[in-house]
A = this chain, B = another copy of it.
Amino acid sequence: MENIKLAIVEDDAVIRESVEAYMETHPSIQITFTVDSVEAFLEKARAAIQPQLDVLLLDIGLPGMTGIQGLYHIRQQYPNMDIIMLTTFEEDDKIFDALCAGACSYISKRTPLTKIREAIFTVYRGGSYMSPSIARKIAQRFMPKAKKKENALSERQMQIVQALVDGLSYKMIANKLNISLDTVRDHIKRIYRTLEVNSKAEVIKKVLKGDI
């Protein structure tokens, strides 16, 4: 029989209490505590007897320290705890911030409690649940970005761009490609024009961002 130690951080009393009441009814879930802010959570965590925790439901839009900021601090105390972010649809653009900060699940507050409970079990077992709209955004993040223009560089130009990205100086590029320094300059000049940039830095940024 599982025994999941759950904590809740949610400022809206109505939501907090309804979630708490619902989760409490399940025999495998044990609510360790619920608080209304990250600050309150951290205080509990700092207390002498640091309560053991498996899963945390964390609201993303909190007064004071936001959930995202809080994630960072919370994970210092509980590096192995699984954190489920609760969010309203307006905050969907914070998905990636939250994921980067270490959230492992991201659920809309509109999700039925039964699904949220399911998610708790899922993350406890090493999985992750994402609301469908969230998951879609994540999937899109991986898709090839819409290449705007036909800014196709020639084969040679690509070699030079690559060398630039690798941090080679003009001289080194000339050497590597067995062409003269002036030729390298010539290529780069034209590359800048077709890419509509005017510094090495911008070229590198474009490449690293996948715009090329």
Contacts and interface: CB of A to CB of B under 8 A. Distances in A.
Contact of A139 (B103, B132, B199, B201): B103
A135 B130 CA distance: 7
Interface string A95-108: 01001101111000
A209 B143 CA distance: 18
A139 B128 CA distance: 8
B205 A100 contact: no
Contacts of A200: 200-201
A128 B122 contact: no
Contacts of A135: 105, 127-130, 135
Contact of A201 (B122, B123, B138, B201): B201
A17 B104 CA distance: 35
Interface string A146-177: 00000000000000000011010100000000
A209 B126 CA distance: 26
Interface string A20-64: 000000000000000000000000000000000000000000000
A109 B131 CA distance: 20
Copies in the complex: 2
Contact of A142 (B96, B126, B129, B167): B96
Contacts of A128: 130, 132-133, 135-136, 138-139
A100 B142 contact: yes
Given A201-B165, A201-B201, A202-B167, A132 B122 contact: yes
8 interchain residue pairs of minimum CB distance: A127-B132, A99-B142, A128-B135, A208-B208, A128-B136, A167-B201, A167-B202, A122-B132
